[in-house]
Each structure stands twice: as structure tokens, then as C-alpha cells.
Structure 1
Amino acid sequence: MIRRHHHISMFTKDLKENNRFYTEVLGLRRVKISVNQGDTGMYHVFYGDTTGAAGNDLTFFEIPNIGAARRGTDAISGIGLLVPSYDSLFYWQERLDKYDVKNEGIAEYAGRDALVFEDHEGLKLILINHAGGEIPDEWSPWSENEIAKAHQILGMGTVEITVSNKGRLVSLLEDLFGYTLSFEDGEKALMQAVEGEVFGEILIQESSEDKERPGRGSVHHLAIQSAGRSLEEWDRLLKEKGYVTTGVKDRYYFDSLYFREDNGVMIEIVGTEARGFTADASVEELGMRLDLPPFLEEERDEIESKLKPIEEWT
């Protein structure tokens, strides 16, 4: 019922440093520059593979006056990124050292070899050994960077969510969304959207810590993609179970709806079909200019007047 992760969205204080880290250090492609459709004075920038295919995109909202996050529970607490092999982890450890990015060394994470580190704003990232496994046909790792081809980031893997009530989230993912419980061990549970695949995997950790206070480097929401059920049907099913939803939203590049699960973590469900980021830009021109959905295009002059010029942070 769920195909895989679609994207994940975070807060950043400074797009210039954010852009440098994700394009230069990690070698991802900036695939779309747009705005927060609910607050058009705020940039919304997407990084991913060659076309920004579903399951690749790390997206950021820039809030220049945002404070520091206070880490805690009831929040998305880590983002896994797949790399091709065990050797890739050593390659990336050396690269992170080169850029003075602290890491925890190669160790096991959710049953796989991995390298855990934080970005420049404290966002936890986990490079996960995909061990030569297949990736979705539409994924195309970005190669116009200095990353060795054998070690390029492939796409999103395990997403870590820390909650005060693990059982409620496990039940929701199993009973409504059709996730499979891969393993459960005390305070941890590993859920898979597609059994045996890491592309839609969620690691749930239970914690009695205080609730996280969002800030720079914290995650706003995780988006998952429906495998067949319409958004209208998801909306009905969620409301029947007592959840409050936003209703279906037209984001132009895709349609989606949002809700908060029982611990308060925001989840977005993306529809089965999507225009994608080449709807208004060629593959060659992705991420080079401000793209606006048609329903905001008539406001372009006003929107641009409120934004820092792109050339000042790219």
C-alpha cells in the first residue's frame, strides 16, 4: 500500500551553507528551487539525484531567524542515505574527515553496516551500506560532482523516528499502511513498506526524553508515496480512525495530504502519480532558477521581491 519514502523536509537557517554542504560535501544535485506554498517568502530547496526522482529528495525550508533545535522525542531523528558498498563507508569516512565533519565511525545500524554523522546544523545522517543491492529503476545518482562513481549516494534508506509511544506508531504503520514488522527488540522496531527493501524502511525508537523543540537541522515531515490507493481514500480512512488531515493538496509537482500520527510526528502521503520536477524545467536546467507552480506564477514579482537573490547563496 506504500511504495517507498517520497521525500523528507527539514529546516535550515542559512541556504548558502546548506547548499554548500549538500552539493559540495555530499555531492547531491540541487534539483529544484521553489518556495513554501504556505509562506511564499520562504525558499523551499530540494536536493536529490539527476532528476529528483521520488525516494531521493532531501528538502529544506530556509528560516533565517530560526533558533537551535533541542533534541528529544516525538520527532524524526535520523535520515539514512544508501551507498553502494562497505568500501563506500571507508571512502565517505575519509571524505567527511577532509571536510572536518565529525562521524561515529563504521558500526552496525538497523542490522546493516553504516556511518553516522551530523550535517553542519546537527541533523543526524546515516550512510548505509546497500551491499550492491538493486535500486529503483527511476533512480539515477548524480555524477557531475567530485564523488567517485563507485561511492555515490544512491537515495534514501532507513528513516529514524523517536517517539514516546512506539506501539501506537507500529500499529498505525502495520494496520493502516501495510508495513511489515521486520524486527522488534525492546525499545526499537524496524518497519518496512516493502518487505526486504530499505527504500521505505522506518526505524522506530521509543524514548522517555522531553519532546523535541524544533529548530535548525530538525525535520518537519516525512513523505511516503502511495502504491495504489488514492489520496481521497487515504483521507477517508485516516478520518475514520480519528486523525485530522489537511485534505488533498495540489503541490503541482505532486498531490499529497498531511496528518500527525499519535505521537505528533507529521507524515505526508504523496499520490500514486506525480508530474515530477521536470514539469517546468528540462533535466539540464533543474535547480538553476526559481520555479513556481502555475497558481503562483502571477505573483512572481512580489515573491521574488521578498527573497534573497539566488546568486547570493548558490
Structure 2
Amino acid sequence: MYKIPGHHHISMITKDAQINNHFYQKVLGLRRVKKTVNQDDPSMYHLFYGDLTGSAGTELSFFEMPYVGRTHRGTNAITKIGLLVPSFESLEFWKNRFESMDVKHGDITKYAGRDALHFEDSEGLRMVLLNNNGDDIPEYWSAWKDSVIEEEHRILGMGTVELTVRHLEKTARTLRDMFGYVEVSRSDGEVIYQSVEGQSFGEIIIKQQDGEREKPGRGSIHHLAIRVKNEEELRYWEGVVKERGFHSTGIVDRFYFKSLYFRESNGILFEIATDGPGFTADSTVEELGKTLDLPPFLEERRAEIEAKLAPID
């Protein structure tokens, strides 16, 4: 059986690409590694932020939907994103930075067993900075040297992702029995799983919560993508998903990676995505994210697509 080596990316909804672009580059110091469009609806931007090359496990992606309403928070949703920073001193640095830049945040506390600083972007997307405290990170994560954040405090990549569901054990079975995640902690109404035991870059916390299903809007999380190395492994997991009785999209070629999508029993949308070929498939490392990149099947529509998109820096 193949193992899931960690998170691949996570995708959210934004109402305003320009504001989003400023926050994730100029406030959080991430690199915009791809400016492209939603391949299923090329009238909207699809922006990716991450490390130097947008390595798997560092990618935050956003679909711009200018007419989207607010999020009505509830259950059966992905409800929080953890981002790893090097140290406790980094949390203190970020707390001071958030205060100076009027970013909504809390005090330094504990979350999933780590020192943590909860915060939100301007659209209410809930995130938490987590003290990596010298733990291993994937060797291929590569820092972006031109970040506005000094090296000792830069965001490293994705950590714990929070799922909130009505029926905890249904989602737990999907992670544990289907994907081989390891249970590392359990308390009343909460369980933590890791794809690689002892490592937070593939960690998922499931929280039980009754009530209304979340109604997505600006600042909500659309789906979580988990990593596989290549198409061979993706085809293996396609078979596993089918055997478990879940309906999937089948394998979709996204040009920068191949993937499939399915919803587990609580309705959480998962994507399984390959590591490659990556964002340098149509760009040099130096030019990543600077121009509008389109997959080959959309290139002939470039003039039409660009005419419908508002320019962003």
C-alpha cells in the first residue's frame, strides 16, 4: 500500500484578487508562484502562493469570485489552516506584525499540542501559525529569498488542517482505514491524525460539531488536496476511492499536476494530487507568478480570457 506523504495544497474563495494578492505577499510574505485561471471557469483568477517554487505542501490557492457573499460558518467543512513557522520567537514576531498591520489575531496559545497564534485574513479566513520548533520539514521545501519577512521568521509551509464535522468517526475512518493516517491524539469530540507519524506537515485534526452545514462564501475553504508522488500512485488511489464506494471525478489533468476529487461521508471535498510536473512546467523559477499563465488547452482563448480579468499587480 502506498502512503500519503503529506498535504499538497489547500484552496479557498476570495472576493477580491487584488486585496488577496496584497495580503499573502506583502503581509504574510509568501511568493505568488502562479497567476492563472480556474480551468473549469476561466472567467475567474486562480492564484497560488507558496515557497520559492510552490512546492507541494506549501501551496495556498484562491479562486476569485467577485460576487460571492459572506461565509455562514457551521459544520461539515474545512475550518482552519495551520502554517508552520520556525520558533516561539517567530510567533512573537508575527503577533507584533499583526498588531502593527491591524490584522485580526489572538494571543499566543496552544493548538494541536503546539505553541500557536490564531489569526484571520481580511475576508475572515481562519488560520493559525504553529511553532515548528526545529522539527523536520520536507527536504524539497525551498525558501523564497525575496520575501518581505526575514528568514528566521518566514512561514515554512502547511501544518495542521482542521475539519469540523457532524459525524467524527465517518471522516476518521476515511483517513485511518482508507489512507493509512495514524491516530496520534484523541479527546472528547476531537481526534488528530498524521499521514507521516510525528510530522505536522500531513496532520489533520477532526472536530465534532452538530448544527447547520457551513454555507461557503468569501474566506471559506473549498477543498484540501493531499499528496501522491506520481500518476501511478494516483491511479492506485483512484481504485481505493472507488472500492470504498465514493464517487470521484476520475483523473483530471491540471497541467501543473494530475488529480482526482471526491467527497467523503460528511461532504468534505478532498483532492488527491501528484507532486509534478509543478509550476515550472511553463515558467522559469525566476518568472514564476509574474504573468498570466494558461494551460495549453486554454491558450487559444487568451485574448478572450484576459479581457474579462481585472489586472492585478
TM score, norm. by length of structure 2: 0.97
Q: Alpha-carbon deviations, 1:201-248, whole Å to 9, x = none?
A: 001001012110000000010000125762222222212221110000
Aligned residue in 1 for 2:236: 233
Amino acid corresponding to residue 103 of structure 1 in structure 2: H
Distance in 1 separating the partners of 2:150 and 2:296: 38
Aligned residue in 2 for 1:268: 271
Q: Contact 1:249–1:257 (CA<8 Å) still a contact in 2?
A: yes
Aligned residue in 2 for 1:133: 135
Q: 1:218 aligns with which of 186, 204, 220?
A: 220
Q: 2:294 aligns with which of 267, 292, 297?
A: 292
Q: Alpha-carbon deviations, 1:101-148, whole Å to 9, x = none?
A: 121110010001000011100011100000022221111122313312
Q: Alpha-carbon deviations, 1:254-289, whole Å to 9, x = none?
A: 000000010001000013x51100111111101100
Aligned residue in 2 for 1:73: 75
Distance in 2 separating the partners of 1:47 and 1:216: 17
Q: Contact 1:51–1:277 (CA<8 Å) still a contact in 2?
A: yes
1:23 and 2:16 correspond: no
Distance in 1 separating the partners of 2:306 and 2:147: 29
Distance in 1 separating the partners of 2:148 and 2:241: 45
Point out where structure 1 has 5 or more consecutive residues left out of the alignment: none
Aligned residue in 1 for 2:91: 89
Task: Tell me the SS of whatever aligns to 1:61.
Answer: strand
Distance in 1 separating the partners of 2:259 and 2:223: 12
Amino acid corresponding to residue 178 of structure 2 in structure 1: L
Task: Tell me the SS of whatever aligns to 1:45.
Answer: strand
Distance in 2 separating the partners of 1:153 and 1:264: 30
Q: Contact 1:143–1:152 (CA<8 Å) still a contact in 2?
A: no
Amino acid corresponding to residue 261 of structure 2 in structure 1: Y
Aligned residue in 2 for 1:103: 105
Superposition map of 1:143-182 within 5 A: 143-182=145-184
Aligned residue in 1 for 2:6: 4
Q: CA deviation at 1:298?
A: 1.5
Q: Contact 2:229–2:276 (CA<8 Å) still a contact in 1?
A: no
Task: Tell me the SS of whatever aligns to 1:3.
Answer: coil
Q: Contact 1:223–1:268 (CA<8 Å) still a contact in 2?
A: yes
1:46 and 2:48 correspond: yes
TM score, norm. by length of structure 1: 0.97
295-304 vs 164-173, which moves further: 295-304
Distance in 1 separating the partners of 2:154 and 2:197: 25
Identity of counterpart residues, as a percentage?
54
Q: CA deviation at 1:304?
A: 1.3
Aligned residue in 1 for 2:124: 122
Amino acid corresponding to residue 289 of structure 2 in structure 1: G
Aligned residue in 1 for 2:250: 247
Q: Contact 1:141–1:155 (CA<8 Å) still a contact in 2?
A: no
Task: Tell me the SS of whatever aligns to 1:303.
Answer: helix
Amino acid corresponding to residue 116 of structure 2 in structure 1: A
Aligned residue in 1 for 2:39: 37
Distance in 1 separating the partners of 2:144 and 2:82: 17
Q: Contact 2:106–2:117 (CA<8 Å) still a contact in 1?
A: yes
Q: Alpha-carbon deviations, 1:48-99, whole Å to 9, x = none?
A: 0111011000000000000000011000000000000011000000000011
Task: Tell me the SS of whatever aligns to 2:286.
Answer: helix
Q: Alpha-carbon deviations, 1:176-212, whole Å to 9, x = none?
A: 1000001110110000000000010001001012110
Distance in 1 separating the partners of 2:245 and 2:134: 42
